[in-house]
């Protein structure tokens, strides 16, 4: 018998939840600072808001959002107005949430000036998504954090992302999708989640070269790009504490390249060191120290941009969805390529600084040139190359 959504066992705070909250908080702080400069009002929608507090008093996402907004609004004069909306389906959780939010406001009412709690809705996200989308014309951030994978129809995500200056941050429960993919009884929910029929057949026929998890993630991201027309998506892998398999991916989707880069930086610094994931105690221990792949980044860039000239920003933008690297990595890799005379960089600052508009010229390399450089692979290298890598997502 599955536990009810208000069962205290579901509200024990885990290390991986803390990582999720850290990413949420750090990104929100940056997001409001960027957008609040140009817009009088920005909005947050916490669409699966929860109870407000975990069993031992740890803060839930609504309080994390409220306090982060409060801190930023206090520090920066240009921030005028932030509107917060919370949605929670479970009646008991909703009641608790209303009380927790009220207590928070009572404790520091002046600290919350400039912040409007627009609504704390007791309903299903999918049932009111259309209404909230129609009601809001300001830049908006939607946090979608369900326990499972039902109740987040792709159609609603698509409508949100069709608005200008909206972003979503989705907890994509891949472990359950994976587990219930063969079940006829779950076929409709999976179809609704992806917004396309026959996801199972697609994994078998189109993506048989990927493992199932990678295929399920790829199809969802492809849907965001092709079905919802969003320019940038980036996933952060989360393993439950003590487990070796993926529990969920936190997927950020935005049309704003700056937003994408900021989120990648936040993800890079959260969780298991520079792994774009919280891999849990077991896998994390093994992974730390094995992550030195700027060499791969250099090779990749030299290969795909062979002979081309483009701005430093375009180099990052055109590869943002595919590569687990942050701005600093690109800079280092390009400077290393320059020192090997594989590229030239035009417009650098006096001390070697690179602005977005610097031009990067990739020296053309013919197949014959490349063949001369390739050393035969050692058996050990080949084994390493055959394993799945961070490029797989
Ligand atoms: C993972 S918890 C949210 C945790 C919360 N975001 C946090 O970080 O503190 C998911 C919540 O969504 C609620 N929920 C379940 N189905 C829902 C739906 N269709 N619409 C809105 N809320 C729902 C559950 O009752 C539960 O409180």
In a domain, 340, yes or no: yes
Q: How many CB atoms lie within 10 A of CB 70?
A: 18
The per-residue pLDDT for 94 is: 98
- Say how many domains are in the chain: 2
DSSP 263-300: HHHHHHHSSSTTSSEE-HHHHHHHHTT----HHHHHHH
Query: 12 and 159: one domain?
Result: yes
Alpha carbon distance 182, 166 (integer Å): 34
- Contact yes or no for 297/342 (Cβ under 8 A): no
Measured from the CB, is residue 324 less than 6 Å from ligand 1?
no
Residue to mutate, 146, 172, 192, 247, ligand 1, most ligand atoms under 8 Å from C-beta: 146
Measured from the CB, is residue 275 less than 6 Å from ligand 1?
no
Query: 193 and 326: one domain?
Result: no
Q: Ligand 1: distance of its center to the CA of 209 in Å?
A: 35
In a domain, 2, yes or no: no
Give, for all 393 residues of the chain, the pLDDT tens digit: 789 999 999 999 998 899 999 999 999 999 999 998 899 999 999 999 999 999 999 999 999 999 999 999 989 888 889 999 999 999 999 999 999 999 999 999 888 999 999 999 999 999 999 999 888 899 999 999 999 999 999 999 999 999 999 999 999 999 999 999 999 999 999 999 999 999 999 999 999 889 999 999 999 999 999 999 999 999 999 987 666 778 999 999 999 999 999 999 999 988 776 677 777 655 544 333 333 578 889 999 999 999 999 999 999 999 999 888 899 999 999 999 999 999 999 999 988 899 999 999 999 987 777 666 655 555 454 444 433 444 454
In a domain, 142, yes or no: yes
- Contact yes or no for 247/238 (Cβ under 8 A): yes
Whether this prediction's pTM lies above 0.85 is answered by yes
The last residue of one of the domains, among 259, 287, 315, is 287
Query: 254 and 231: one domain?
Result: yes
Query: 148 and 265: one domain?
Result: yes
The per-residue pLDDT for 230 is: 97
Alpha carbon distance 270, 20 (integer Å): 9
> Which domain range does residue 355 map to?
294-392
- Contact yes or no for 28/272 (Cβ under 8 A): no
Q: Ligand 1: distance of its center to the CA of 46 in Å?
A: 9
The CATH number assigned to the domain holding 242 equals 3.40.50.150
Query: 250 and 314: one domain?
Result: no
Alpha carbon distance 261, 43 (integer Å): 21
Residue to mutate, 7, 48, 63, 125, ligand 1, most ligand atoms under 8 Å from C-beta: 48
Query: 35 and 102: one domain?
Result: yes
Query: 197 and 330: one domain?
Result: no
- Contact yes or no for 242/280 (Cβ under 8 A): yes
Measured from the CB, is residue 189 less than 6 Å from ligand 1?
no
The per-residue pLDDT for 274 is: 66
Query: 353 and 210: one domain?
Result: no
Closest residue by Cα to atom 16, ligand 1, is 89
Query: 207 and 240: one domain?
Result: yes
Alpha carbon distance 341, 150 (integer Å): 52
The per-residue pLDDT for 339 is: 95
The CATH number assigned to the domain holding 320 equals 1.10.10.10
List, in sequence order, every beta strand (DSSP E) within 173-297: 232-239, 246-254, 277-278
- Contact yes or no for 91/102 (Cβ under 8 A): no
Please report the atom of ligand 1 found closest to the CA of residue 52.
9
Alpha carbon distance 223, 364 (integer Å): 34
- Contact yes or no for 45/142 (Cβ under 8 A): yes
In a domain, 3, yes or no: no
Query: 107 and 217: one domain?
Result: yes
- Contact yes or no for 307/364 (Cβ under 8 A): yes
The last residue of one of the domains, among 287, 321, 350, is 287
Query: 301 and 261: one domain?
Result: no
In a domain, 81, yes or no: yes
Q: Which of 309, 320, 294, 303 is nearest to 360 (CA)?
A: 309
In a domain, 237, yes or no: yes
Query: 83 and 206: one domain?
Result: yes
Q: Which of 336, 293, 287, 345 is nearest to 315 (CA)?
A: 345
Burial class (CB in 10 A: 0-12, 13-18, 19+), 376: exposed
Q: Ligand 1: distance of its center to the CA of 36 in Å?
A: 28
Lookup: tokens for 343:
């590229």
Q: Which of 274, 363, 260, 254 is nearest to 317 (CA)?
A: 260
Measured from the CB, is residue 125 less than 6 Å from ligand 1?
yes
In a domain, 330, yes or no: yes
The last residue of one of the domains, among 230, 259, 287, is 287
In a domain, 115, yes or no: yes
């Amino acid at each position: 018998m599955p536990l009810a959504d208000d069962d205290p066992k579901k509200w024990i705070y885990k290390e991986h939840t803390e990582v999720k909250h850290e990413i949420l908080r750090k990104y929100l702080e940056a997001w409001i600072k960027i957008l609040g400069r140009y817009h009088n009002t920005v909005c947050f929608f916490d669409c699966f808001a929860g109870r407000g507090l975990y069993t031992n008093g740890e803060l839930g996402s609504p309080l994390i959002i409220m306090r982060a907004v409060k801190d930023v609004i206090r520090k920066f004069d240009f921030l005028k107005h932030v509107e917060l909306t919370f949605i929670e389906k479970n009646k008991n959780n909703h009641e608790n949430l209303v009380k927790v939010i009220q207590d928070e406001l009572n404790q520091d009412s002046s600290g919350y000036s400039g912040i409007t709690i627009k609504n704390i809705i007791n309903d299903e996200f999918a049932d009111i998504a259309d209404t909230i989308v129609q009601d809001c014309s300001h830049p908006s951030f939607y946090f979608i954090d369900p326990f499972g994978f039902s109740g987040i129809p792709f159609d609603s995500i698509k409508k949100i992302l069709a608005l200008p200056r909206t972003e979503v941050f989705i907890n994509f429960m891949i472990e359950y999708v994976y587990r219930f993919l063969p079940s006829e009884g779950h076929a409709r929910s999976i179809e609704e989640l992806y917004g396309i029929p026959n996801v199972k057949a697609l994994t078998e026929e189109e993506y048989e070269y990927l493992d199932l998890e990678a295929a399920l993630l790829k199809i969802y991201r492809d849907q965001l790009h092709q079905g919802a027309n969003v320019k940038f998506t980036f996933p952060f892998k989360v393993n439950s504490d003590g487990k070796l398999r993926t529990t969920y991916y936190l997927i950020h989707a935005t049309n704003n390249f700056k937003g994408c880069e900021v989120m990648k930086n936040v993800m890079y610094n959260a969780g298991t060191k520079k792994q774009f994931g919280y891999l849990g105690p077991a896998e994390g221990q093994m992974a730390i120290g094995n992550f030195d792949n700027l060499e791969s980044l250099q090779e990749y860039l030299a290969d795909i941009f062979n002979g081309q000239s483009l701005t430093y920003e375009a180099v990052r933008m055109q590869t943002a969805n595919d590569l687990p690297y942050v701005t600093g990595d690109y800079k280092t890799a390009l400077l290393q390529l320059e020192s090997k005379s594989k590229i030239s960089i035009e417009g650098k600052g006096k001390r070697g600084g690179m602005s977005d508009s610097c031009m990067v010229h990739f020296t053309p390399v013919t197949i014959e040139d490349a063949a001369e450089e390739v050393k035969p692979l050692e058996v050990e290298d080949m084994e390493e190359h055959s394993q799945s890598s961070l490029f797989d997502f």
